[in-house]
């Protein structure tokens, strides 16, 4: 039986904790893995910013702006899962 190779697949690297759209192999057609890994990265970034806000490492105005930006990016990335391909 001949194995098919999918050029869109990326190797899973458990040591690589963050994946953002700039890291996608094809930015116009990300794989489901890339989308899910990116959404998990954005969730981690959001949680980290919340901790920084609560600890006073960043001021409220800057922190809330960063949180809004991360949340907007998260929604945009998640919406890719529901687009027709």
The answer to whether 80 and 35 have CB atoms below 8 angstroms apart is yes
Per-residue pLDDT tens digits for 24-40: 889 888 888 888 889 98
Average pLDDT, the chain: 83
19 band by pLDDT with thresholds 50, 70 and 90: confident
- pTM of the entire structure? 0.74
CA-CA distances (angstroms) from residue 33 to 39, 52, 66?
A: 10, 28, 25
53 band by pLDDT with thresholds 50, 70 and 90: very high
Q: Which two tokens stand for residue 39?
A: 């959404």
How far is Cα of residue 36 from the mean position of the Cα atoms in its chain? 7
Which pLDDT score is estimated for 82?
81
Task: Provide the sign of the torsion angle of the four alpha carbons 12, 15, 16, 18, taken in this order.
Answer: positive
Domain boundaries, the chain: 29-80
The answer to whether 28 and 7 have CB atoms below 8 angstroms apart is no
């Amino acid at each position: 039986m001949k194995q098919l190779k999918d050029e869109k697949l990326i190797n899973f690297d458990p040591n690589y904790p963050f994946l953002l759209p700039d890291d996608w192999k094809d930015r116009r057609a990300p794989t489901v893995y890339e989308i899910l890994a990116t959404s998990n990265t954005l969730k981690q970034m959001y949680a980290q910013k919340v901790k920084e806000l609560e600890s006073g490492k960043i001021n409220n105005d800057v922190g809330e702006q960063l949180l809004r930006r991360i949340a907007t990016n998260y929604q945009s990335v998640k919406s890719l899962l529901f687009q027709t391909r």
